[in-house]
Structure 1
Amino acid sequence: MKRLLRNIAWLLSGRAVNAILSLVYLALATRTLGIEAFGYFALIVALGQTVTGLANFQTWQFVVRWGANGEGPGEATGFAIALDGVSVILGALLAAGLVYSAQFWLPLPHDLLWVAFGYCIVSLIAIRSTPTGLLRLRFHYAEATFAEAVQPVVRAIGAGLAVVFMPTVLGFILAWAAAEIAVAIALWIVAARKEPIDLTQISLTKLPRDHPDAWRFVLSTNATGSLNVGAKQVMILLVGAIGGEAFAGGFRVASQLGQALVQLAQTISKAIYPELVHAKDDAVEIARRTANMALVGGTLAVLVAIFFGRWGLEAIAGPEFGVVYWTMVILAIAGAIELVGASLESLLVSANRAGTAFLARAIPMVLAFALLPVAMGWQGLKGAAFTVLGSSALAVLAFWAAILSLQQIKIVLEPKDGTPPDPA
């Protein structure tokens, strides 16, 4: 538990740097572009992150899962790098299809479509899940934090340069693209110094030959990762498709400020997953204690959003974004729920129940997307936020129910008195 808290502290310190600098580049982008042009910017970034999220195979989990054995991470790393190559190819095809069709369903000007495609390709090339997994496998969270800090620093510098030399959507997209490339290079350099990478191990067949469940785990974790992307990026795209670019820009700001807790939840999930893989027998207790701490932190964060959110919105993004205050508060509540559920989801994945975790997220998210047009017709951006809140609440309840079922099965199979289980 001490190591877990230390690792979370390192990750949170990185998030703190990211949060502070994100306020800087968010303020520069919103105040320079205005709500409509910022909406175009938000849609392009959402397209890039959607493509990357759907194509990315969450290879860091494979490196942690199969690299933790006595053979070392060489074979797992080779498998992960091979999957990253597959991600780039599949993602490029997906990007071409989405960007070409965007003219029919997204409010993006024609001259920005090529910008959107270019940003998608850069985001795919900058996939950095594998080096992140190598660093987490050996608990090098301090080094990972310093490497990941490159992204917000480059974004902030790039946003400042865009304001001065190219105060357009293209200028800010170039800044974001440069940050993606920079952080990927930094993570690969740090990971290679800590764990030599044997390029001869790159293969899609070696690891699955030794681990028959490999492809099932790959597909289930990829599906779960895709759903995590859908919770935010696809939602921004759909909000823009239904309400226009101004709605997309407003929802992006409200989401970035209100759902900072979701990023915190993902941070905790990334820190706790390696611990759960190594802990095994103590995994449930670690997850329970982490969830209790998350509940306290989430409650405090929601109170901050309620009492200081409107002032923060107008101070950072400008007075015209003050209308999304209640949207931000609703998303903050959803983020608090996700914060509590992060350790529960990680526990399911570490117990080889990634498919269960996927279904627990998939069904609520499908409902959220189905109800989005009705919800926006009812309450606009607040209605969209309510669908996110409902999806998060149902998913966490499903995680909890699944864990209770697993514990009951374990009690039946392993009686406390040590007697063999009844064959019946």
Structure 2
Amino acid sequence: MKRLFTNMGWLLGGRGINAVLSLVYLALATRTLGLESFGYFAAIVALGQVVTGIANFQTWQFIVRWGANGDASGAAEQAVREVTGFAIALDMVSVAVGIALSALLVWSVPLWLPLPDDLLALTFAYCIVSLLAIRSTPIGLLRVNFAYATATAAEAVQPIVRASGAVLAWLFMPTVTGFVLAYAAAEIAVAAALWIAAARKERIDLGALSLRRIPARHRDAWRFVVSTNLSGSLTIAGKQVLILLVGTFGGAALLGGFRVASQLGQALVALAQTVSKAILPELVHARENALVIARRMANIALVGGVIAVLVALFFGRWGLEAIAGDEFRGFYWAMVILAIAGAVELVGASLESLLVSAGRAHVSFVVRAIPTLLALVLLDTAIDWNGAKGAAFAVLGSSSLAVIGFYVAIINMQQIRILVEPEGEGLETGSEGGIEAMDESTGGPLPPRP
């Protein structure tokens, strides 16, 4: 727990820097571009994130899972080398698939998204830059070495370059193109910083590139790869698709306002992702205490979520107007509802990580997929009912159903037994701490102890 909180401290410190600088470029972009043009800018950024989210494999999870403990036949260093080669090979697949997907999306944009034709070339270029800046693999290498301080320093490059670029755009190119270029420069800069930092921790051996070695050692490898990719696509791209569909059904102005409300209100979702990234390596390393760690983190997250929602409720209107201006004041209640959704996601982060660490990434995907698809289907009706607030309620419903699903899935996992102690406090998890020990050579459970 001490190491977990130390690592979380570094991650949250990085998030704090990001949050402060985010306010700088958000204020500059909204006040410079106005409601509708900011909607165009938000659409371009969201399209880049959709492409990256769908095409990108969550390679940091592979590195943590198969590189943290080594394997049955070799040393941990060899395991990290092989899983890194597997991850980089998957990154190459991501770029190739993503380029084709980008071309298809940008070609179809005039049919479903209110984006001017003169911005389509810029949109395609931004999607390509986002793909080239995929950085899940170096993040995994830093996390498997518990180098959270190094990772935080490298990731701080992104908000610094973004904020600096926003200032330059405001001064010299106060257009959608100027702010998109600032975002693109930040993506390239942070990817370069993370790869340099990772290479100093682990030797990057391009000779180890292979899509066969890891699957040959772990029979569940491709299932885990596909499941984590789909789950990541739902978590990242799903939310961006929802923002884009807000523009489809409500126009560029509604998209711009909802994007601001989402960024301010759902800052907790970023915090949830931070908690997840910090807790997963610990759950993999400490299977005996996995359930206890996840439970403690969920309790802490609940308290933090309640506090954050209260802050949004009492100070959100002032913050929205101070940052984005009077033009965005009508999105206050949407921001509050999205803050509640962020609090729900914060509580669910440790539960989702527990499922993934137990080799149940496919269960996590199904639990996340059904509410996400339901929210997308009902979005048009929700916007017709109550505009941005209706869209925010769709997000809240999706997050709530997903977290309830995570909890139910954990209760029903055969590997986890929840026993109430006679005093009514704490949890016992059986002889293996709740998650059955896994044979890394086969991917299956070890036989029971005598």
Question: Under TM normalisation by the shorter chain, which class is it?
Answer: over 0.9
Task: Tell me the matched-pair count.
Answer: 417
Change (3 A) 1:242 1:205: same
Go from structure 1 to structure 2 and tell me whether the alpha carbon gap of 1:203 and 1:301 turns closer, same or farther (over 3 Å shift): same
Q: What is the CA–CA distance in structure 2 between the aligned matches of 1:380 and 1:353, rounded to whole Å?
A: 37
Specify the alignment match of 1:24 in structure 2: 24
SS of the residue corresponding to residue 204 of structure 2 reads coil
Q: CA deviation at 1:407?
A: 5.7
C-alpha separation in 1, matches of 2:388 and 2:101: 28
Match of 2:56 in 1: 56
Query: Aligned partners of 1:404, 1:212: CA distance in 2, in Å?
Result: 26
Q: Deviations over 1:379-407 (max 9, x none)?
A: 00000000000000000000001111126
In the aligned structure 2, how far is the partner of 1:229 from the partner of 1:7? 23
Q: Deviations over 1:59-109 (max 9, x none)?
A: 000111111113320000000000000000000000000000001110000
| Residue in structure 2 matched with residue 338 of structure 1 by the alignment | 345
Q: Deviations over 1:176-199 (max 9, x none)?
A: 000000000000000000111111
- % of aligned pairs identical? 70
- Contact between 2:411 and 2:418, CA under 8 Å: does it hold in 1? no
1:141 is the counterpart of 2:168:
no
Distance of 1:410 and 1:387 partners within structure 2: 33
Q: Tell me, in whole angstroms, the C-alpha distance in 1 between the residues paired with 2:294 and 2:2.
A: 13
Structure 1 residues 206-225: aligned runs within 5 Å: 206-225=213-232
Q: Any unmatched runs of 5+ in structure 2?
A: 420-428, 432-446
Q: 1:128 to 1:408 in 2, by over 3 A?
A: closer
RMSD: 1.5
Stretch of structure 1 that moved more, 197-206 or 300-309: 197-206
Inter-partner Cα distance in structure 2 for 1:352 and 1:75: 20
Given candidates 381, 385, 402, the residue that maps to 1:378 is 385
Task: State the alpha-carbon separation in 2 of the partners of residues 45 and 409 from structure 1.
Answer: 41
- Judge conservation of contact 2:290–2:354 (CA < 8 Å) in 1: yes
Would you say 1:15 and 2:15 are equivalent positions?
Answer: yes
Q: In the TM superposition, what are the counterparts of 1:191-340 in structure 2 within 5 Å?
A: 191-340=198-347
The separation in 2 between residues aligned to 1:85 and 1:318, in whole angstroms, is 42
Return the offset for 1:230. 3.5
For the Cα contact (< 8 Å) 1:258–1:328, is it kept in 2? yes
* Separation in structure 1 between the aligned mates of residue 29 and residue 176 of structure 2, nearest angstrom: 9
Describe the shift of the 1:106–1:411 C-alpha distance in structure 2 as closer, same or farther (beyond 3 A): closer
Gap change, CA 1:273 and 1:408, over 3 Å in 2? closer
Residue 71 of structure 1 corresponds to which residue in structure 2? 76
Q: Which amino acid aligns with 1:363?
A: I
Q: 1:226 to 1:415 in 2, by over 3 A?
A: closer
Bigger Cα displacement from structure 2, 63-72 vs 14-23: 63-72
Does the Cα contact within 8 Å between 2:81 and 2:204 map onto a contact in 1? yes
CA distance in 1, matches of 2:416, 2:96: 42
CA distance, structure 2, for counterparts of residue 153 and residue 23 of structure 1: 12
C-alpha distance in 2 between matches for 1:245 and 1:410:
50
The answer to whether the 8 A contact 1:231-1:388 is kept is: no
- CA deviations over 1:19-72 (Å, ceiling 9, x no partner): 000000000000000000000000000000000000000000011111111332
Which moved further from structure 2: 207-216 or 2-11?
Answer: 207-216
**5+ residue gaps in structure 1?**
none
| Stretch of structure 1 that moved more, 195-204 or 284-293 | 195-204
Instruction: Determine if contact 1:151/1:179 at 8 Å carries over to the other structure.
Output: yes
Residue 157 of structure 2 corresponds to 150
Moved more, 234-243 or 223-232: 223-232
Shift in CA distance, 340/407, structure 1 to aligned 2, threshold 3 Å:
farther
Q: Partners in 2 of 1:253 and 1:77 — Cα distance?
A: 37
Following superposition, the deviation at residue 231 of structure 1 comes to 3.9
Aligned to 1:122: 129
Matched letter for residue 71 of structure 1: A
Change (3 A) 1:66 1:320: same
